[in-house]
Structure 1
């Protein structure tokens, strides 16, 4: 993009507004280098990055990036084995720490929000975290670049020695300032000279302290003396300070050497953080402008909806729709001076530059922008005294240059085209220039005062008139852009309202061209009709909003009603389930009595007991989800896939069985334990494979199972049943009930034998187990197992 257009449209001022939102030096450098791009893919990628940053800003308040220095020069010095200073290492440490924080931030954000952040993902995934290096630098160097005591044990000991030595020196010196010797001092203070502790002694008492004189006052009456009994202590302190400096230098050198193998990663991290800071700044700037993401048209269709100039006060700027490219490629704007024509030109050009820089625009949603290789403008008075060029000549020089460079991918903005010369010639020249631009296929917008161009805009294809509205009542421009309506001349009306004599105005009207007057009347009628349409549009919009509000209220009430209905049904089903549960408890006690009768010799058929349990299970309410149409369809599809050899759940009894044969009318012969029965598809549910089996393995297993015989399937089912029951630690009644259920389940699954662990204890449970097995007609034999006879082994018929 040519530099002239950037200066003319004040592109640099927009970048200056964005700069305060940056936190890193790398981000500031990227902003300085920012230029609009004509590469469509790059432009769309930039806009997508800003869109992702805007989502982060909306969800989490934006990226938290601290002030980061540019560490590129630091890394260059590291690569040549130079040692960094404490301040430079602190800057590198902040980059490394921020790297870890930002990488973790994005990983958590992507997981929590379930948004892949596709535009920013390639950047944050480049961040290389270095926990060990980061910890070492940030523990050894504080934020101001000072080497900390934790940098090394030797440094810590040295600093402790320095502190204790300084305390001893101060204590000794204070003896001079507070004791009898204080009368020989010019001032009772301890000070420093040549990095050594001294006291100010009156010159005549120099001999009372001995030691070394390090300085004297300007009058010579005060000598700064290091007393003899602290000389050795000061010497010791100097040695410790020199040792400390050597140790600090060694630590800085070691840390710098540690950075050399990862210098390229550190540099890349800094660059990525700078770019993330830059897109974060663009998102924050968009919020400040109340800006939105524009859509990009590959056909260069520009539709700026309620566009505002970004450098104006956004609360006062008049918003306008500016549309070009789809139905017409040239706009002729007419209207009074100071009416907003020039600012409309600049708004169009500047917003297009911003969009091609990946920035959001101060417009309404669904705004569309094009992609132009170049934008040219002839705006303002560019007369040159040095080159002896008039205003007209300077404009012509600029227009000549523009015509030499434009093509079908250009946007051209002309302000007061043809001005500065004879009106008739200027109008003709303006129309010829617009024709030349149109022949190249370039888009153009021109402002003018010439009425001839209104006729040009009406007669030329792909060209439309527009104007800036002027309020005759207030004699002030409204700055509203009226597309499709040429501007009318208001000179006579304004003169009349300003008090010009009526006879003069009437005389002027008589001399005015009749065609010009008719054109003004036509324009006035168009404006009136347009305003009527706008009023009607506002009314319709308000009605739509009202209808939408009523619909939302209706939807909310309907949702609330459905929620309450579902809650009521669930509560009723829960209560019914409680009743069924109580009934089951009572029924279990009855069945236990029947079992006891059976053990006492009274014959009770097993199928009668199963029928009783089945009836009780059928009383339980199913979850409401079972009534869902989608689940019904899924269930039906499942029935259609039942094949011989499959394992199914017999819904009525709550027990598993094996499909022996597929019969007519969607019925199956199912074996459940020792029982065989004919059931319909609705009475059984196909059992899924275990959850830890993969889909492929599951399909292979089902296919294999269908090919095997029924006896093999029954053997597989027995694997799922427990062959051991542990009754230790249970009360007698509970143990007997659990034993009864265990034996039933074992027989239903055709287990050949089971083991019942009852322990020795008092022998009550062991005896109860033996009596139960002895009376059960399905038990073939049983005997104790284990060395302590703490378990019983039982075989079935």
Structure 2
């Protein structure tokens, strides 16, 4: 992209704003180096990354990037063989800690589905806990090593502390001895050696080595001879300490070097995450959106706002280009916003091509251009002796040399700065040339001739910035399809210019020009009226849509609740039946047990009690079954007439038909005091015959279950638990039916089912004996059971 265009459209200011949102120096550098791309696939990918990053910020505020450091220089020094400083090692530790925190943050599986791009970047990061821990255990600060960094360092520092303590004690005793010779009774240090301040005139009274003197020369700093050896020992220990620290730092540097490629990878990718977060926060602060992109020259930016104008003051504009017209000519008074419109269109296109959110409504479209040219502003040069006209024309010449069908051309006040007639003619010829080259064009002008040119020329469209004559202020709204009016006479009149002068001025304007300006004024007035009505219609439409959505949601909720209630009632009914049947089986077992004691009168009475309980439970079950079988005795309502009793399936209620089928296929049904229209396919016709008593049928069913029993049962394909449960029930029924022997089919298979069944049969109280079936009975896949009598 041409650097001059970036400067004219103030792209650099956008980039500087963006860089302030980055946390790390490397992230800021990525922001500063961001340039628009003319590859639509790259632009699309970059915008998708920004959209995902914005979603992350909206949901969590930010990624855990606290303490992120740029270790690019540290990596370079490490590769060159330098020993890293404590500060550099701490920066490496901070980077690795940040990578670990990011991995922990992204562990949630749902984040992978919702944020695949950022998830993949974080998932690829390296966590090297060993290096992180080693650095943190050894280094206490940017210039400080822990005593426990090594055992040797701990011993050396302990020895230094002990020597320092001893030498201070010795010097304190010397101070007391030589106090009258001292400037002050204190111990101080000069050149890493302990000394005492002695008055110059008493130099010979305190034996020792002079290390320094005061600026006035009145004080000498003397190391007493009795502590010289002790100071030498401390000096040796300090040299050992320094050597041990260098060894520790060298060892840590070697550890870093071992994983230098992984650390460099983390450094690049964490900085890129910081860059993505900066783009996201910048876009959200602009109230921006992610535009749709194309490479066909189509631009449709809705409610566009210039990002460098206060968002509380800027007036949103709609900018369209490239659908039915490829060139837009904007006219209107000065300070009306023509130039801002040009810059907004160009700058938002550059931002989108750079992968940034743009300050516009959702659904906006931008095109990816190979080149963007901008000739905006007064660039006359005194040094080059160029006038305003010459300066603009030089830029136009350069554009004409490079423009093609993948270009966007933005030209402000084309043809200005010279004779109006010649300037207008030249402007029309230049615009025509741009159009022939296939470029998309947005230009501003004051010339009426160009307004007419744009109206007559195919592919061109007029536009204007609105001006309120009553307030003498521009509204900054862009009106596409209507050429602008200068409003010079109206403005002059409101500012107090004599009416005679204005009338005289009007006489100099040709009738055709005056008539054309009046047509423009009429168009603007009508457009404003239509726009206001359209705004009202849109507002009402939104309100209707909201009400429709509300009602739809309420209906869905009511339908769901009704269906849930019906489903719950049916489930409860089925559960009652299941429970009743379980209890019935249990009672049958009790009857079987009692029957074996039938000779005893007490057992007979007990059997009678159980029988009564069974009868009572079966009656309850019959009532429950009526809930589930409430549609029994009903048929589809094909032929329906007034007075028929029907069942409404959507309400699970019975009612009476009070009207015939209408044109919508609905009939009116009265349910109690309520009358409702119901589709025919939601009705069942209730037959006239009464329901037969369920009681007898149910009792008969149980009787058949107990006494009409087959002589064999097939348990193949069942689990052992299922087979044993079904076998137990079957033997109860077979025993009650008075069968002498039965055949249990279990198959051969692995033998697990057969062994489990036979083991259970041997313990069963109804079983007299068991044997494997003969060849004609099924062989080893069948067990023959002889029941007790």
TM over 0.5: yes
8 A Cα contact 2:86 2:141, kept in partner: no
Task: Count residues with an aligned counterpart.
Answer: 675
TM-score by length of 1: 0.75
Alpha carbons of structure 1 residues 294 and 187: separation in structure 2 relative to 1, 3 Å: same
What residue ranges of structure 2 are gaps of 5+ in the alignment? 632-648, 650-704, 737-741, 747-752, 772-782
Deviation digits for residues 739-797 of structure 1, max 9, x if unmatched? 999x99x998966666999xxxxxxxxxxx9xx98992235389xxxxxxxxxxx9964
Q: Take 1:618 and 1:128, find their aligned partners in 2: how far apart are those partners?
A: 69
Q: Take 2:243 and 2:367, find their aligned partners in 1: how far apart are those partners?
A: 63
8 A Cα contact 2:297 2:440, kept in partner: no
1:533 equivalent in alignment to 2:530:
yes
Q: CA deviation at 1:175?
A: 6.1
Q: 1:394 aligns with which of 391, 399, 404?
A: 391
Q: CA deviation at 1:365?
A: 0.8
SS at match of 2:458: coil
Q: How does 1:83-102 map to 2 (within 5 A)?
A: 83-102=83-102
SS at match of 2:244: helix
Q: Take 1:368 and 1:282, find their aligned partners in 2: how far apart are those partners?
A: 19
Partner of 2:232: 235
Partner of 2:4: 4
SS at match of 1:98: helix
Q: 2:488 aligns with which of 482, 491, 516?
A: 491
Q: Take 1:623 and 1:222, find their aligned partners in 2: how far apart are those partners?
A: 114
Partner of 2:21: 21
Alpha carbons of structure 1 residues 585 and 224: separation in structure 2 relative to 1, 3 Å: farther
1:441 equivalent in alignment to 2:438:
yes
8 A Cα contact 1:88 1:145, kept in partner: no
SS at match of 1:321: strand
Q: CA deviation at 1:121?
A: 4.9
SS at match of 1:278: helix
Q: CA deviation at 1:453?
A: 0.8
Q: 2:767 aligns with which of 774, 778, 795?
A: 778
Q: CA deviation at 1:221?
A: 3.3
1:521 equivalent in alignment to 2:518:
yes
Alpha carbons of structure 1 residues 213 and 508: separation in structure 2 relative to 1, 3 Å: same
Q: How does 1:60-75 map to 2 (within 5 A)?
A: 60-66=60-66, 68-75=68-75
1:414 equivalent in alignment to 2:390:
no
Alpha carbons of structure 1 residues 470 and 596: separation in structure 2 relative to 1, 3 Å: same
Q: Take 1:622 and 1:295, find their aligned partners in 2: how far apart are those partners?
A: 61
Partner of 1:338: 335
Q: Take 2:437 and 2:269, find their aligned partners in 1: how far apart are those partners?
A: 42
User: Structure 1 residues 772-781 or 290-299, which shifts more?
Assistant: 772-781
User: Structure 1 residues 71-80 or 91-100, which shifts more?
Assistant: 71-80
Alpha carbons of structure 1 residues 530 and 114: separation in structure 2 relative to 1, 3 Å: same
1:34 equivalent in alignment to 2:31:
no
Partner of 2:400: 403
Q: CA deviation at 1:409?
A: 0.4
Deviation digits for residues 319-362 of structure 1, max 9, x if unmatched? 10011011111111111111111111111111111111111101
Alpha carbons of structure 1 residues 539 and 249: separation in structure 2 relative to 1, 3 Å: same
TM-score by length of 2: 0.76
Q: CA deviation at 1:456?
A: 0.7
SS at match of 2:349: helix
8 A Cα contact 1:752 1:796, kept in partner: no
Partner of 1:717: 718
8 A Cα contact 1:71 1:270, kept in partner: yes
Q: Take 1:550 and 1:203, find their aligned partners in 2: how far apart are those partners?
A: 100
8 A Cα contact 1:212 1:227, kept in partner: yes
Alpha carbons of structure 1 residues 212 and 585: separation in structure 2 relative to 1, 3 Å: farther
SS at match of 2:113: coil
8 A Cα contact 2:295 2:369, kept in partner: no
Alpha carbons of structure 1 residues 752 and 119: separation in structure 2 relative to 1, 3 Å: closer
User: Structure 1 residues 455-464 or 124-133, which shifts more?
Assistant: 124-133
Partner of 1:462: 459
Deviation digits for residues 495-533 of structure 1, max 9, x if unmatched? 111111111112222222111111121111111111111
Q: Take 1:432 and 1:282, find their aligned partners in 2: how far apart are those partners?
A: 42
SS at match of 2:62: coil
Q: 1:544 aligns with which of 541, 545, 550?
A: 541
Q: Take 2:173 and 2:623, find their aligned partners in 1: how far apart are those partners?
A: 99
What residue ranges of structure 1 are gaps of 5+ in the alignment? 630-670, 678-709, 725-735, 758-768, 783-793
Q: How does 1:528-677 map to 2 (within 5 A)?
A: 528-558=525-555, 561=558, 565=562, 590-591=587-588, 593-600=590-597, 676=710
Q: CA deviation at 1:39?
A: 0.9
Partner of 1:129: 127
Deviation digits for residues 19-68 of structure 1, max 9, x if unmatched? 11112232233233322111111111111111111111112112232454
8 A Cα contact 1:753 1:795, kept in partner: no
8 A Cα contact 1:6 1:12, kept in partner: yes
